[in-house]
Amino acid sequence: MDHHIKMRLFLSICLIICFINHAVAQVDTETPTADYTFETIEVPGVDFLEVAASNDFGDYAGNTRSPDGEKTIGFTLIDGVFTTYDFPDSLNTYFYALDNAGKAAGHYKGTDELYHGIIMEDGELTQYDFPGAAQTFIYGLSDETGALSGNIVDETGVTHAFSGDLVITFPGAVATYGDFVNAAGAVVGSYVDADGMPHGFIRNPDGSFTTIDLPKMPNLEFLFVNTITDFGVIGFRAKAVNDILRSYLLMPDGILYEVRFPGSISTVVRNVNQDGSIIGYYDLADGRRHGFVGRPTPHPDEEDFGSIFSMHLSKGLNMMSVPLKPTVHTTAGSLAVKIGATTVIMFDAANQQFVAWTPNAPDDGFPIEGAKGYIVNLPEARDVVFTGTRWTNEPQVAPAPTIAPYQTWAFVVSGYLEGRQHLDGHLVTVQNLRTGTVMETRVRGNYFAAASVDLNYHSVVEVGDILALTVTDSHGNTVSETFNFTVNSANLANAVLNVALDDIGTPKQNLLLQNYPNPFNPETWIPYRLAEAGPVSLSIYDTTGTLVRTLSLGYQSAGFYQNQERAVYWDGRNALGEPVASGVYFYQLVTPSFQQTRRMLILK
């Protein structure tokens, strides 16, 4: 059984999978036949299961009936667990989108007969209304950007499509409906022209439109375009007068297939996955509705869905390469979303260091390229399907083997600097106090991710390790306290420790530090920290308490005065410019609200 429909059985919930080989019906005698294997998705005791969305991990979302049968409610089927959702005080609740993180989206009908968007995340339902819209219908949720898509009704009652914050109106249309957006930014939907005729459309990334029609079905009641893959495979459904509802797949080369589940009275395709599989639901004559997955039977001479490669990734750390060139630009962020990784690490050959990305980063991180290895960490083992074409102008490499996660041989410390607004270029240094291992990384967008990797697969961190973090500016000046963090088991499981470093650039308290070098001859530097601005002076005394010299530092801003460029410099001379004798001396820092004294030693 394919990994996408392998699901754990929880309590009384199980899936009944029925395998039926079926050749898709031809639209006309010139349409080639596409072979599918259909798999029915059922939940015991549920006679109405309208599967409307799926993700890359074989999870599903859609709609079912409430226990009393009086209303429609949303459901998710994630890792075999069937859960229903009913928005409070709604007449009906619908789910039509599901991303790789398990977030679902759709809309509900309120008692006022108006529709509002909803988002389900971590088991909680949140209402989402498109800004300025009277009604919001959500049908899509982008894995790449998190953007919602669907359609809205404005205050005048006109329907428009939307994707993210973009409102889409087909030129000359009286109503425009949106559904899904692919990774390239192509939005699909439908519109009704001035004559009342329905059409499908693609809004291309450049803003142009392509119309989708069924010329041999002129008497259409409706035509709804539901989905488009990154390869440009389009799924839609249509119904002509005095005919049943029919679903179709339109290939990038213009070939059209009808899809019908055998024995059904109607079949609805809701989504086409990147590997060419389709999901949706079908109706039987007895009124029951079931979900399905359809998988194309591959033929050596066909490339309708592009090349496909399936890879197993273990729980924990894996070394992998991306076997095929995706149809759209892929980044560390989009790869993490696809495989469910907690971090992605690459080796920067130019700078001879490892570079990490974590999901809390402010951007999508580095690009994913061919002939390169990447380290990824997964909370659970997964089979992942990659689609695309062969990498060009790159050596062809097989996917790197996965590594059993017996050791935490790669680890990332990531987070944000809180304090001054402009911290890009600052250096974050992390030292494991047990092993002495040091990792460093530069700050960008106040974010940092420092990686430690042992390619011999030996552990680089253990539970209980204390990691000391310091921050220096682009000139090498210390700008932070030393932050100590203790590694716990959850950090090891994710291979990531997320932290927040506050008060960067401003010490928490005034402090006079030990001079360096010490002992010294004839010069030394005296570091200190100021928690608030003010006039500062430093005085030096001998063991009898006699003042040797006072160094007036003037008005100083709050900050860390620790590096040689900022610390107090003393050349070992008294106020007359004479070298002082060997022995113990005391130095005292004085501000309006603080003074502290330490000792130092001159050896000649």
* pLDDT one-digit tens code per residue, 214-271: 877 778 999 999 999 877 889 999 999 988 899 998 887 788 888 889 889 999 999 9
DSSP label at 490?
H
Cα 427 to Cα 476: distance, rounded to the nearest angstrom: 8
Is residue 298 scored above 80 in pLDDT? no
Residue positions counted in the chain: 604
pTM, two decimals, is 0.62
Between CA 16 and CA 46 the distance in angstroms is 12
User: Which pLDDT does position 423 carry in this prediction?
Assistant: 79
**Residue 167: count of CB within 10 angstroms of its CB:** 18
Angle 305-309-312 from CA coordinates, rounded to 5°: 140
**127 - beta bridge partners?**
118
Residue 418 pLDDT: 77
Dist. CA 502–CA 510, nearest whole Å: 17
Q: Which of 390, 564, 411, 579 is nearest to 498 (CA)?
A: 411
Residue 414 sits at φ, ψ, to 5 deg, of -135, 160
Q: Is the pLDDT of residue 300 over 60?
A: no
Residue 368 has pLDDT above 50, yes or no: yes
Please report where in the chains the tokens 């953007």 appear, as a residue: 147
What string of DSSP letters covers 327-340?
Answer: SS--BHHHHHHHHT
- Work out the number of other CB atoms within 10 angstroms of the CB of residue 187: 26
Residue pLDDT, tens place only, 400-421:
455 545 689 999 999 998 766 6
Identify the residue with better confidence: 104 or 16: 104
What DSSP letter does each residue of 577-597 carry, written as one string?
A: SPBPPSEEEEEEEEETTEEEE
The predicted pLDDT at position 292 comes to 95
pLDDT given for residue 28 in this prediction: 42
User: Nearest Cα to 278, choosing from 324, 229, 243?
Assistant: 229
With a cut of 90, say whether residue 498 has pLDDT above it: yes
pLDDT tens-digit profile of 103-140? 999 999 999 999 999 999 999 999 999 999 999 999 99
E strand or H helix at 599, and its extent? strand 594-602
User: What domains appear along the chain, each with residue ranges and CATH number?
Assistant: 3-296 (2.120.10.30), 310-504 (2.60.40.10), 511-602 (2.60.40.4070)
Give the integer Cα–Cα distance in Å for 356 and 494: 13
Q: Output the pLDDT for position 5.
A: 28
Tens of pLDDT, residues 43-75: 998 989 999 999 878 899 999 999 999 999 999
Residues 6 or more apart from 195 whose CB is under 8 A from it? none
560-578 mean pLDDT: 93
